[in-house]
Amino acid sequence: MINPKLLEILVCPITKSELIYDREKQELVSKMAGLAYPIKEGIPIMLPEEARIIDDNDTDSENKKIVS
């Protein structure tokens, strides 16, 4: 589980836009950048080169929380 206070202050490093926490996949998703940043052992890896490119199948809102 990631610290909720940390989630409140994180933004996408590329677009500076809000992130969506995907609890199931343990990722922080930036829809604006089209990237999903992994969370490993409770630590978000906010490096674009570590992010996964998201597709249309990643747009459902189940198990997700908007973080801004």
Q: What class is the 4-67 domain?
A: mainly beta
pLDDT for the residue numbered 1: 75
23 vs 62, more confident: 23
Q: Where are the domains of the chain?
A: 4-67
Residue 11 class from Cβ within 10 Å (0-12 exposed, 13-18 middle, 19+ buried)?
middle
Q: How many CB atoms lie within 10 A of CB 6?
A: 12
Question: Model confidence over 10-48: pLDDT tens digits?
Answer: 999 999 999 999 999 999 999 999 999 999 998 999 999
Q: Which residue has the higher pLDDT, 21 or 1?
A: 21
Q: Evaluate if residue 62 carries a pLDDT over 80.
A: no
